[in-house]
Amino acid sequence: GQNIDQPTEMTATEGAIVQINCTYQTSGFNGLFWYQQHAGEAPTFLSYNVLDGLEEKGRFSSFLSRSKGYSYLLLKELQMKDSASYLCAVLIMNTGFQKLVFGTGTRLLVSP
Amino acid sequence: EAGVAQSPRYKIIEKRQSVAFWCNPISGHATLYWYQQILGQGPKLLIQFQNNGVVDDSQLPKDRFSAERLKGVDSTLKIQPAKLEDSAVYLCASSPTLMGTEAFFGQGTRLTVV
């Protein structure tokens, strides 16, 4: 089976830095995605990591350690519009196909 | 490029009624997913198609849920009969076959069962 854990909720202040952690236990791991989801909207892609290390994309960075089953999403210079849910999703390889399994999501509240 | 289209956006039905949702994925995407997202939770995979074949339906409540993807393009998800606990957003997503590419999501259908 798969187990993907994230904190339920986090709060931070505008302009600050926040780190959202994700731990996973899966077989057939083939990469990890982070998605952002504003209330009432569809998830949108933020990042994809398949190798160990840090991927930076503007204010957002994502890190992966495959040996530890651990990833984090780092958000810098927080803005009010960053208030959203952040979903960690693991790509799992099965015979002949891959499937995308989500964690429970972390709701981030950014205050002025 | 057109995104993933879903309809309807909202649906309210009484328990024990039936309901169907429609999804049109991005053109050329072989993989199609249906997810159920209950308020405050992450999306839960219900069923996954590769072209017009089912590759994973392990979490689909088959006594009441069914899905099909005719000709490997559009898909419909049906619930019959609906229960109160089926109230959720039903998200359709598609991705190309290429390994490691992200899934693109539709706006979802918000179902309320009363």
pLDDT in tens, B19-62: 999 999 999 999 999 999 999 899 999 999 988 899 999 999 99
Out of A41, A45, A99, whose CB is closest to B45? A99
Using a CB-CB distance cutoff of 8 angstroms, which residues of chain A are in contact with residue B40? 107
pLDDT in tens, B80-90: 999 999 999 99
Using a CB-CB distance cutoff of 8 angstroms, which residues of chain B are in contact with residue A96? 50, 55
Checking if the pLDDT of A3 tops 80, the result is yes
Residues 38-77 of B with CB under 8 A from A: 40-45, 48, 50, 55-56
What is the distance between the alpha carbons of residues A17 and A39, in angstroms, rounded to a whole number? 22
Q: What is the mean pLDDT of chain B?
A: 93
CA B82 to chain centroid, in Å, comes to: 15
DSSP per residue, B39-101:
TTS--EEEEEEETTEEEE-TTS-TTTEEEE-GGGS-EEEEESS--GGG-EEEEEEEE-SSTTP
Half-sphere exposure of B80 (CA within 13 A, CB side): 9
Respond yes or no on whether the N-terminal peptide bond of residue A43 is cis (omega within 30° of 0).
no
pLDDT in tens, A17-63: 999 999 999 989 999 999 999 998 999 999 999 999 999 999 999 99
How close, in Å, is residue B50 to chain A by CA atoms?
8
* Radius of gyration over every alpha carbon of chain B, rounded to an integer in angstroms: 13
- Whether B94 and B104 have beta carbons less than 8 Å apart is answered as yes
Checking if the pLDDT of B100 tops 80, the result is no
